[in-house]
């Protein structure tokens, strides 16, 4: 047999083997490699009970995931806000502890929704309907992108302080966002594996910071105003602490969809609550203490003015010398696990736009979120940081309205019974509510927000009645307006549509 004949027969054999399935096709080879490296290829499709039987995720991953996400420099900067509003350290202490003890219950409860096998913005279809849920999707994508940018800026400010400005904040944003993007491309299995350990480094940083900086902390460095003028900043700080915790609601379920089948809702609730509450309280209290140092030391004040949160942190770690500089790098990189929920869930939100979005690979939406975060974060670090924070405070009110609608749907109209959900109908428009009741209540909730919000360029008519400068009570009014209107609107919807 000549060489030419052998080549022809070899080609024919290869074609026949591929056609018969004895040799993997290229697509199967890709899928095989994806499985070997635990690369996530699916999107928002419901994770079935059968799929959960073969999963290796552990319930305690719900704790370490949130430990890593909240043991971050953004949490530290949030704790500094109280002092910047004019509140004394001990007033900040009371607000941080009390508000977090109660507000962290909410994302912990919502985290258990992931045991349905559905992501949070997909589960919302059972309240808002197939198309009405796009309202939730759009607000979710806006908020996750914005917080991705803001949290990156917090980490970038630490790098800028460490390098004395030689590493500009926009460069730090790129470093942090790029690392987050790579991890989110790999998917949820890698996220849980990495987050099992990523909280340890920042925990060491905050412990050392508390020790080396304690001599500069001043419990009476700031004296709170009294009366209505004291209530106003206190209410505004309460709103900030509350919104920090509940901002996780719209993605809390996303990281539990692959939990083992025998996992109970109480397990997920407890692990999530511990994972959010402990680091949030401890790191925010440290942030409040660091800010008190700026009131007693002119060098600390100057550092805060130049670099934001990174300034006082650098001053507190200064006695540690070279080790302190290493810890500054670890602190800056704590923004990576802090931003993973934002970038990963951005893709999950986007796939709810319709059947066409389901056909778009998850990695493309992750990349779009990554590019948006870099552009916004890089520009905001130079030009409009305060404007972006104001914008995020405004759209943060939607989380309360979204939360109330889903809770009342579950407790009132589903009787707190999971059996009243047809979980296989998550993508069937005809089997879901129309969503008119949820949309109506949502809009009324935003009216309440407009009456009670207090931002740099706008003070609502009710908010302006508190103290000389007004106070932020937008979350309270959003809650009240939504909670009072949804039961009535939903009752009308069920009566006239039957679903």
The per-residue DSSP string of 44-74 comes to SSPPPHHHHHT----TTHHHHHHHHHHSSHH
State the Cα–Cα distance between residues 363 and 56, nearest whole angstrom. 23
Q: What share of the chain has pLDDT > 70, as a percent?
A: 88
What confidence score (pLDDT) does residue 35 get?
58
Stretch 94-114: mean pLDDT: 95
Tokens linked to 23: 């040799």
State the Cα–Cα distance between residues 493 and 488, nearest whole angstrom. 9
Helix, strand, or coil (residue 458)? strand
Residue 11 has pLDDT above 60, yes or no: no
Q: For residues 432 and 386, which has the higher predicted lDDT (pLDDT)? A: 432
Residue 405 has pLDDT above 60, yes or no: yes
| Residue 129's pLDDT band (cuts 50, 70, 90) | very high
CA–CA distance from 442 to each of 325, 344, 390, 396, 402 (Å)?
47, 25, 21, 13, 7
Q: What is the 3-state secondary structure (H, E, C) of 341-359?
A: HHHHHHHHHHHHHCHHHHC
| Residue 24's pLDDT band (cuts 50, 70, 90) | very low
Residue 385 has pLDDT above 90, yes or no: no
- 4 located within any domain: no
Asked whether 308 and 76 are in contact (CB, 8 A), the reply is: no
- 430 located within any domain: yes
What confidence score (pLDDT) does residue 4 get?
46
What confidence score (pLDDT) does residue 61 get?
92
Stretch 62-66: mean pLDDT: 95
Residue 145 has pLDDT above 80, yes or no: yes
What confidence score (pLDDT) does residue 466 get?
85
CA angle 238, 397, 247 (to 5 degrees): 70
Residue 54 has pLDDT above 50, yes or no: yes
Residue 15 has pLDDT above 50, yes or no: no
Residue 465 has pLDDT above 70, yes or no: yes
- 336 located within any domain: yes
Residue 379 has pLDDT above 70, yes or no: yes
Residue 391 has pLDDT above 90, yes or no: no
Tens digits of per-residue pLDDT, 300-337?
999 998 888 889 999 999 999 899 999 999 999 999 99
Q: What is the CATH number of the domain that holds 422?
A: 1.10.4160.10
Tokens linked to 129: 């309907």
Stretch 344-364: mean pLDDT: 93
Residue 10 has pLDDT above 50, yes or no: no
| Residue 53's pLDDT band (cuts 50, 70, 90) | confident
State the Cα–Cα distance between residues 272 and 267, nearest whole angstrom. 8
How many structural domains is the chain composed of?
A: 1
Which residues lie below 8 Å from residue 454, measured CB to CB, with a gap of 6+? 236, 460, 463, 464, 469, 470, 471, 472, 473, 474
Stretch 450-461: mean pLDDT: 85
- 33 located within any domain: no
Give the H or E element holding residue 8. Answer: helix 3-20
| Residue 218's pLDDT band (cuts 50, 70, 90) | confident
Which residues lie below 8 Å from residue 315, measured CB to CB, with a gap of 6+? 213, 216, 293, 297, 299, 300, 303
Residue 104 has pLDDT above 50, yes or no: yes
Q: For residues 468 and 353, which has the higher predicted lDDT (pLDDT)? A: 353
Residue for token pair 């007693």:
296
Which string of b and e fits 108-142 if b means at least 16 CB within 10 Å? bbbbbbbbbbbbbbbbbbbbbbbebbbbbbbbbbb
Asked whether 315 and 216 are in contact (CB, 8 A), the reply is: yes
Sign of CA dihedral 422, 428, 431, 435: positive
Alpha helices in 383-466 (DSSP H): 385-395, 397-408, 436-452
Which string of b and e fits 476-497 if b means at least 16 CB within 10 Å? bbbbbbbbebbeebbeebeeee
Stretch 12-33: mean pLDDT: 45
Q: Which of 9-18, 341-350, 451-460 has the lowest mean pLDDT?
A: 9-18
What confidence score (pLDDT) does residue 372 get?
93
Asked whether 356 and 171 are in contact (CB, 8 A), the reply is: no
Which residues lie below 8 Å from residue 98, measured CB to CB, with a gap of 6+? none
CA–CA distance from 282 to each of 185, 202, 252, 286 (Å)?
31, 12, 21, 6
Stretch 456-472: mean pLDDT: 83
Prediction pTM value = 0.88
CA angle 111, 188, 203 (to 5 degrees): 75
What confidence score (pLDDT) does residue 115 get?
93
Residue 460 has pLDDT above 60, yes or no: yes
Stretch 9-33: mean pLDDT: 45
- 17 located within any domain: no
| Residue 389's pLDDT band (cuts 50, 70, 90) | low
Count other C-beta atoms under 10 Å from residue 60's C-beta: 14
Residue 29 has pLDDT above 80, yes or no: no
Tokens linked to 200: 């340890």
Which residues lie below 8 Å from residue 339, measured CB to CB, with a gap of 6+? 147, 148, 151, 152, 176, 177, 180, 373
- Measured in degrees and rounded to the nearest 5, phi and psi for residue 454 equal -140, 105
Residue 7 has pLDDT above 60, yes or no: no
Report DSSP state, residue 37. Answer: T
What residues make up the domain containing 464? 45-497
- 21 located within any domain: no
As a whole number of angstroms, the longest Cα–Cα distance in the chain is 102
Stretch 186-210: mean pLDDT: 93
- 114 located within any domain: yes
What confidence score (pLDDT) does residue 296 get?
81
Give the H or E element holding residue 333. Answer: helix 321-333
Average pLDDT over all residues of the chain: 87
- 1 located within any domain: no
| Residue 243's pLDDT band (cuts 50, 70, 90) | confident
State the Cα–Cα distance between residues 272 and 264, nearest whole angstrom. 13
Tens digits of per-residue pLDDT, 255-314?
999 998 889 999 999 999 999 999 999 999 999 999 999 888 889 999 998 888 889 999
Nearest CA to 368 among 390, 349, 393? 349
What confidence score (pLDDT) does residue 387 get?
63
Q: What share of the chain has pLDDT > 90, as a percent?
A: 59
Helix, strand, or coil (residue 218)? coil
């Amino acid at each position: 047999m000549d060489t030419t004949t052998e080549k022809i027969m070899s080609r024919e054999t290869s074609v026949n083997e591929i056609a018969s399935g004895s040799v993997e096709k290229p697509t199967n080879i890709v899928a095989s490699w994806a499985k070997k490296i635990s690369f996530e290829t699916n999107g928002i499709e419901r994770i079935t009970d059968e799929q959960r039987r073969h999963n290796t995720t552990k319930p305690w991953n719900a704790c370490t995931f949130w430990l890593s996400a909240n043991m971050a420099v953004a949490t530290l900067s949030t704790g500094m806000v109280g002092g910047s509003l004019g509140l004394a350290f001990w007033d900040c202490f009371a607000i941080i502890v009390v508000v977090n003890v109660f507000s962290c219950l909410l994302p912990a409860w919502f985290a258990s929704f992931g045991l349905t096998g559905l992501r949070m913005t997909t589960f919302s279809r059972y309240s808002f309907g197939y198309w009405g849920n796009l309202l939730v999707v759009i607000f979710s994508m806006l908020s996750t992108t914005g917080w991705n940018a803001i949290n990156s800026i917090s980490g970038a400010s630490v790098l800028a302080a460490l390098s004395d400005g030689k590493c500009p904040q926009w460069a730090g944003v790129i470093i942090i966002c790029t690392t987050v993007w790579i991890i989110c491309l790999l998917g949820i299995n890698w996220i849980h594996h990495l987050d099992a350990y990523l909280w340890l480094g920042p925990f060491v940083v905050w412990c050392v910071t508390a020790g080396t900086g304690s001599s500069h902390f001043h419990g009476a460095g700031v004296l709170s105003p009294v009366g209505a003028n004291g209530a106003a900043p206190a209410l505004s700080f309460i709103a900030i602490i509350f919104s920090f915790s509940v901002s996780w609601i719209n993605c809390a379920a996303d990281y539990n969809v692959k939990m083992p089948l025998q996992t109970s809702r109480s397990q997920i609730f407890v692990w999530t609550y511990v994972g959010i509450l402990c680091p949030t309280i401890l790191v925010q209290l440290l942030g409040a203490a660091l800010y008190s140092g700026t009131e007693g030391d002119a060098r600390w004040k100057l550092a805060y003015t130049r670099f934001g949160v990174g300034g006082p942190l650098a001053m507190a770690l200064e006695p540690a010398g070279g080790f302190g500089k290493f810890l500054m790098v670890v602190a800056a990189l704590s923004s990576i696990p802090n931003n993973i929920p934002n970038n990963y869930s951005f893709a999950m939100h986007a796939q709810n736009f319709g059947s066409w979005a389901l056909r778009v690979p998850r990695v493309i939406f992750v990349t779009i979120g990554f590019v948006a975060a870099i552009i916004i974060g890089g520009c905001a670090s130079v030009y409009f940081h305060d404007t972006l924070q104001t914008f995020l405070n405004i759209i943060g009110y939607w989380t309360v309205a979204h939360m109330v609608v889903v809770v009342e749907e579950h407790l009132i109209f589903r009787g707190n019974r999971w059996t009243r959900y047809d979980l296989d109908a998550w993508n069937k428009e005809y089997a879901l509510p129309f969503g008119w009741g949820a949309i109506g209540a949502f809009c009324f909730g935003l009216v309440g927000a407009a009456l009670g919000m207090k931002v740099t360029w706008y003070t609502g008519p009710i908010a302006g009645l508190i103290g000389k400068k007004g106070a932020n009570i937008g979350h309270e009014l959003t809650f009240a307006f939504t909670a009072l209107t949804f039961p009535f609107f939903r009752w009308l919807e069920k009566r006239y549509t039957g679903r």
